[in-house]
Amino acid sequence: MSLSIDSKVTLNNGVQMPQFGLGVWQTSNKNASQSVQWAIANGYRAIDTAKQYGNESGVGDGLKRAIADNNLNREDIFLTTKIYDGDQGYDSAIENFEGQLKALQVDYVDLLLVHWPVTDKYLDTWRALETIYKEGKARAIGISNFDIIRMKDILKHGSIKPAVNQMEFNPLCQEDDIKAFCDENNIYLEAWSPLGSGSVLNDSRLQKFADKYNKTVAQVILRWDLQRGIITIPKSIHEDRIKQNADIFDFELSDEDVQEINNYNIEKRAIWYGDFYWYGNPEGYRDSVSHIED
Statement: residue 85 has pLDDT above 70: yes
> Could you give the 3-state DSSP secondary structure of residue 202?
helix
Please state the rounded mean pLDDT for residues 217-244: 97
Please state the rounded mean pLDDT for residues 216-227: 98
- Contact, 67 vs 36, CB < 8 A? no
CATH of domain 17-197+229-237: 3.20.20.100
What's 160's DSSP letter?
A: S
Please state the rounded mean pLDDT for residues 78-97: 96
Statement: residue 281 has pLDDT above 50: no
pLDDT at 74: 98
pLDDT at 267: 79
DSSP bridge pairs for 104? none
Distance of CA 13 to the CA centre of its chain: 18
The C-alpha atoms of residue 251 and residue 112 are separated, in whole angstroms, by 32
**3 φ/ψ sector (left φ>0, alpha ψ -120 to 50, else beta):** beta
The C-alpha atoms of residue 35 and residue 239 are separated, in whole angstroms, by 7
Which DSSP string do the residues of 15-71 spell out, in sequence order?
Answer: -EEESB-EE-TT--HHHHHHHHHHHHHTT--EEE--GGGT-HHHHHHHHHHHHHHTT
- Average pLDDT of the chain, as a whole number: 92
Would you please indicate which residues are annotated as catalytic (active-site) residues? 53
Which DSSP string do the residues of 212-271 spell out, in sequence order?
Answer: HHT--HHHHHHHHHHHTT-EE--B-S-HHHHHHHT--SS----HHHHHHHHTT------S
In angstroms, how far is the first alpha carbon of the chain from the final one? 41
Residue pLDDT, tens place only, 156-197: 999 999 999 999 999 999 999 999 999 999 999 999 989 987
Pick from 93, 165, 76: which is nearest to 132 by CA? 93
Pick from 9, 93, 81, 74: which is nearest to 52 by CA? 81
Q: How would you list the strands of the sheet with 164-168, edge to edge?
A: 22-23, 46-48, 78-83, 111-114, 141-144, 164-168, 188-192, 231-232
Statement: residue 268 has pLDDT above 90: no
Residue bearing the bigger pLDDT, 91 or 277:
91
Statement: residue 2 has pLDDT above 50: yes
The C-alpha atoms of residue 229 and residue 261 are separated, in whole angstroms, by 14
Statement: residue 247 has pLDDT above 90: yes
- Contact, 182 vs 152, CB < 8 A? no
Residue pLDDT, tens place only, 109-153: 999 999 999 888 999 999 999 999 999 999 999 999 999 999 999
Please state the rounded mean pLDDT for residues 263-284: 60
pLDDT at 239: 98
Quickly count: other Cβ atoms within 10 Å of residue 81's Cβ.
Answer: 28
Residue pLDDT, tens place only, 32-72: 999 999 999 999 999 999 999 999 999 999 999 999 999 99
Say what percent of the chain tops pLDDT 70. 90
pLDDT at 143: 98
The C-alpha atoms of residue 226 and residue 208 are separated, in whole angstroms, by 19
Quickly count: other Cβ atoms within 10 Å of residue 83's Cβ.
Answer: 33
Domain positions in the chain are 17-197+229-237
